[in-house]
Amino acid sequence: MGACSAVLFFHAPARAQSTPAVLQAAPAPAQLAPAQPTFEHTVPVTREMGHEARLPALSLMVRSVAFVGAGAFSQSVLERFGRGFAGQRVSLHTLEQTRMALLRLYRDHGFVLTTVSMKIDRDANVRFVVTEGYIASVRLGHDIGPAGVKVLAILQHLVDRRPLANVEMEHWLLLAQQVAGVSLRAMVQSANREPGALALVADVSRQAVSAMISADNRGYDATGPEEGLVVVHLNSFTSLGEQTDLVYYHTNGNTDNFGQLTESVFLGSGGLQFHAYGGMGRASPSGVLRDLDYHSQVVSYGASLSYPVLLGRRQALTTRLSLDARDVAISAEGGPLSQDSMRVARGSASYAWQDIWLGGTRTGVSTVDLTGSQGLPFMGSSANGRAAPPGGRDRARFDFRKISIALSRSQVLAAPWQGASVVLRGAAGGQYSGAVLPTAEEFYLGGQSFTRGYYSGQVAGDKTAYATAELQLNTTANVALFRHNFDIRSQLYGFYDWGQAWSNQAGGSNPRLASAGVGVKIGFGHNFQMQGEFVHRMTTRLDYEGLGTQSLGHTMLYWGATALY
């Protein structure tokens, strides 16, 4: 590969791969998968519907039927349950079945805190008494400092919603857990007031500082391939529920360094969050590029608003509007080589859901991520077709439009033994644009999530498509070591990856990637994970846009480690 081909690879956003939210504008290859809904049980455990009561085999001449306290449904809906009873002899068993059917109506509509009882007076007047449960008050089980103010403000949305639906309870409890550093478990108890009044007690804790350190050898040879990432989170030191993220990316030989500061804060208590970031990095690659005195520098900053439209144990939908700015300057042999300034507005939506389409305990989790981007030809953006300073790509348009999509599904196929599962994971996606994009806005193939065996950005295009299929064997075990119990998690996997990139430049290359491999991940507790991966490249000759052909080896061996605090 020619020396100048590295222009394509430095300080480009790893948008093609799954990255932490704080790294959305960073040039580093992806290190971790994004946070997805875990779909764990984070709402209070509610009483089961129960069984029919055992009643004597008696019947009575019903004088009248009434429904008391049922405000969630219209009278016409309720009357269907007691139609034809008045003036007829009805068995106690039939009346009990009617009570259960009415309770089932409430449960089917998500009103899990509601109860239904039956009262019969001496004149055979039957009353179905509905107690529509609601939250009368909320409180925290522990003092967690100023962060507790934000948690309580969010949970206050549950108070006096009559009757309280389970979907509402899930939404606000899960939103309270999004307060940075906060973990929460909730329970409900009688409020000692009117029937149906309940008190919600949130057992909360806060981790003031959390961190992640990861390292692997998936980087570009001239700036690695060994690379490391450190992320420190400062969580909720004020009542705003804010999170401050400090990010530092570093590669072997001090060839690439990037730092970023991100701030996220709740705007009110309804779920709207504001995010802002700023970062700077510099790359001085080794090898022939160092002989050319090649350097690149990037400055990135931006802001966004996000809102959880849906938030539940089984599905989640989040929308985001953002404005990103990025200035990239590259020099060689003591003079400027290229300079690009981008100002981009984006709108995105992420949807995830869990289902049991295959029945039983064979759950599946699917995700859909859709992003539309519009280049803005103002606020310091580079002009289209300018001659000086030269751009990273000839005829690149800075008022571009593009759309990208990512689809994935993880499906449990079988549970061969206790603590083990066989999972099939599939993913597909890509990007479309009719314009010649600036280098940093091309879609990057390669990395650790798909088209593995190639570094992130080894192939890029204005239009791209990728697909991956992966079969996993996941196991968990509890091991006693040095008088302590450790949860050991392992994943054996095999995969096939494919990707194709297309250039909108006249005479541009359209490289294709394909690879297959096997790997293992081993996790010790919830704080440390190691990974090893063997990859066979099926594509070993890559054509670059006006830069010739590069030949690659057939096999690669990767390692990685991640520690969480």
Between CA 344 and CA 375 the distance in angstroms is 4
In three-state secondary structure terms, 155 is helix
Instruction: Find residue 191's DSSP bridge partners.
Output: none
What's the average model confidence in pLDDT over 172-194?
Answer: 93
pTM for the whole structure? 0.86
The conformation of residue 35, written as its DSSP 8-state character, comes to P
Between CA 183 and CA 187 the distance in angstroms is 14
Identify which of 56-70, 474-488, 511-525 has the greatest average pLDDT.
511-525
Enumerate domains of the chain plus CATH numbers: 3-29+218-564 (2.40.160.50), 134-206 (3.10.20)
Q: Which of 175, 168, 167, 134 has its CA nearest to residue 151?
A: 175
What's the average model confidence in pLDDT over 45-50?
Answer: 47
- pLDDT at position 194 is 86
Between CA 184 and CA 178 the distance in angstroms is 10
Take residue 125 and report the two structure tokens written for it: 């007047």
CA atoms within 13 A on the CB side of 241: 24
Phi and psi at 105, nearest 5°, equal: -60, -45
Question: Token match 């039927």: residue?
Answer: 65
Phi and psi at 198, nearest 5°, equal: -125, 150
pLDDT, tens digit (0-9, with 9 covering 90-100), for 126-159: 999 999 999 999 999 999 999 999 999 999 999 9
Question: How confident is residue 33, by pLDDT bands cut at 50, 70 and 90?
Answer: very low
What's the average model confidence in pLDDT over 509-513?
Answer: 92
Question: How confident is residue 35, by pLDDT bands cut at 50, 70 and 90?
Answer: very low
Between CA 504 and CA 461 the distance in angstroms is 8
Question: How confident is residue 334, by pLDDT bands cut at 50, 70 and 90?
Answer: confident
Take residue 421 and report the two structure tokens written for it: 């599962």
- pLDDT at position 212 is 98
Range in 5-9, 91-95, 470-474 the model is least confident about: 5-9
Question: How confident is residue 407, by pLDDT bands cut at 50, 70 and 90?
Answer: very high
Are 410 and 39 in contact, with CB atoms under 8 Å apart?
A: no
Contacts of 280 (CB under 8 A, 6+ apart): 258, 259, 260, 297, 298, 299, 300
Contacts of 268 (CB under 8 A, 6+ apart): none
Query: Which is more confidently placed, 548 or 469?
Result: 469
- pLDDT at position 10 is 32
What's the longest Cα–Cα distance across the chain? 102
Residue 79 has pLDDT above 70, yes or no: yes
Residue 242 has pLDDT above 90, yes or no: yes
DSSP secondary structure letters along 250-261: EEGGG-EEEEEE
- pLDDT at position 547 is 62
Are 316 and 37 in contact, with CB atoms under 8 Å apart?
A: yes
Distances (CA, A) of 50 to 101, 131, 192, 236: 12, 16, 24, 42
- pLDDT at position 519 is 98
- pLDDT at position 545 is 61
> What share of residues in the chain are helix, strand, coil (percent, to 5)?
10, 50, 40
pLDDT, tens digit (0-9, with 9 covering 90-100), for 421-439: 999 999 999 999 999 999 9
pLDDT, tens digit (0-9, with 9 covering 90-100), for 85-119: 999 999 999 999 999 999 999 999 999 999 999 99
Hey, which bits of 101-208 come out as E strands? 115-120, 125-131, 134-140, 182-190, 197-206
Between CA 9 and CA 289 the distance in angstroms is 12
What's the average model confidence in pLDDT over 388-409?
Answer: 92
Q: Which of 445, 27, 559 has its CA nearest to residue 248?
A: 27
Question: How confident is residue 485, by pLDDT bands cut at 50, 70 and 90?
Answer: confident
Are 338 and 392 in contact, with CB atoms under 8 Å apart?
A: yes
Between CA 90 and CA 55 the distance in angstroms is 13
- pLDDT at position 48 is 47
- The helix (H) or strand (E) run that includes residue 99 is helix 92-108
Instruction: Find residue 548's DSSP bridge partners.
Output: 544
What's the average model confidence in pLDDT over 239-261?
Answer: 97
Contacts of 93 (CB under 8 A, 6+ apart): 52, 55, 57
Question: Token match 């932490």: residue?
Answer: 20
Question: How confident is residue 3, by pLDDT bands cut at 50, 70 and 90?
Answer: very low
Between CA 134 and CA 198 the distance in angstroms is 6
Query: Which is more confidently placed, 13 or 82?
Result: 82
Question: How confident is residue 38, by pLDDT bands cut at 50, 70 and 90?
Answer: very low
Instruction: Find residue 307's DSSP bridge partners.
Output: 319
Residue 313 has pLDDT above 50, yes or no: yes
- pLDDT at position 390 is 84
What's the chain's average pLDDT?
A: 88
What's the average model confidence in pLDDT over 32-54?
Answer: 45
- The helix (H) or strand (E) run that includes residue 274 is strand 273-283
What's the average model confidence in pLDDT over 249-259?
Answer: 96
The conformation of residue 165, written as its DSSP 8-state character, comes to P
pLDDT, tens digit (0-9, with 9 covering 90-100), for 286-303: 988 898 999 999 999 999
% of the chain at pLDDT higher than 70: 90
Residue 1 has pLDDT above 70, yes or no: no
